[in-house]
């Protein structure tokens, strides 16, 4: 069951506020009964919902993967006028939102959906779906420094869970190293803060995997729809890690 104005907005009838006005003015019916209260709920899968006598069509569920470029905001709008992820979704009329976040300076694999249950399953703290990044950092961390990340490191908001860390590439000329790191949490700017804690700040960060899903040949700034099998695999990964934690 969902609030009626949310169902109407999701079906593309109008903005959420305009949909509230339609309800209050008596222009919306559920199973033949006029509804005029904003707290009313309905089931978009089974209830017949009409606006001015015309039945609304349920919103199709979308599951997208975007190769997010650096310098893009992971939100619906930006008061500063910077690019947002929806700018890279031509042809998508439905309102989709990110599953978790990638900060402004981070690029790579970002999932978007309009399925709230799917998003919650993948981001809930108890599910611990692994996410893998390539972090290019200043200097070349010693093995002992990486071991701290592997065991868990103390940040201002507490200890991190153990991470999987290994060298990916070393550039002695630039005095940089690229480290592959897999984390099982979703704290704000977590990977950057972890490397700051071992005195090797990140200069470039790219997410390359979410669960077993990877970017493959998806070009930067492009998106594609997930396959049904990929959706099932992600949900299975969330269920598996949740069961392990319990």
Catalytic residue set = 103
Separation CA 84–CA 87 (nearest Å): 6
DSSP letters along 64-75, please? EEEEEPTT-BSS
Contact 74, 108 (CB under 8 A): no
Contact 159, 197 (CB under 8 A): no
Contact 43, 30 (CB under 8 A): no
Separation CA 139–CA 172 (nearest Å): 8
Structure tokens at 130: 């692994």
Please state the φ and ψ torsions of residue 9, each to the nearest 5 degrees: -65, -40
Closest of 114, 115, 133 to residue 186, by C-alpha: 133
DSSP-based three-state secondary structure for 225: strand
Separation CA 9–CA 128 (nearest Å): 31
> What are 212-221's contacts with CB under 8 Å, separation 24+?
212/237, 213/65, 213/109, 213/111, 214/109, 215/65, 215/67, 215/108, 215/109, 218/65, 218/67, 219/67, 220/67, 220/69, 220/107, 221/67, 221/68, 221/69, 221/88
């Amino acid at each position: 069951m969902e609030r009626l104005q949310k169902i109407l907005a999701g079906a593309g009838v109008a903005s959420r506020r305009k949909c509230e006005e339609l309800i209050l003015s008596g222009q919306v019916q559920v199973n033949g009964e006029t509804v005029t209260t904003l707290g009313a709920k309905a089931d978009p899968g089974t209830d017949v919902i009409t606006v001015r006598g015309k039945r609304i069509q349920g919103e199709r569920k979308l599951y997208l993967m975007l190769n997010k470029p650096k310098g893009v905001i992971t939100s619906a709008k930006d008061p500063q006028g910077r690019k947002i992820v929806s700018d890279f979704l031509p042809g998508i009329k439905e309102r989709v939102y990110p599953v978790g976040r990638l900060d402004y300076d981070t690029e790579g694999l970002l999932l978007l959906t309009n399925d709230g249950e799917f998003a919650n399953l993948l981001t809930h703290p108890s599910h611990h779906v692994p996410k893998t990044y390539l972090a290019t950092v200043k200097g070349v961390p010693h093995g002992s420094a990486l071991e701290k990340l592997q065991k868990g490191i103390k940040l201002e908001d507490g200890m991190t869970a153990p991470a999987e860390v290994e060298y990916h590439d070393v550039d002695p000329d630039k005095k940089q190293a690229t480290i592959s790191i897999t984390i099982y949490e979703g704290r704000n700017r977590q990977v950057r803060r972890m490397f700051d804690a071992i005195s090797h700040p990140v200069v470039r960060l790219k997410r390359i995997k979410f669960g077993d899903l990877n970017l493959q040949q998806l070009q930067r700034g492009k998106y594609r729809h997930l396959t049904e099998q990929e959706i099932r695999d992600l949900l299975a990964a969330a269920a598996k890690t949740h069961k392990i934690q319990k």
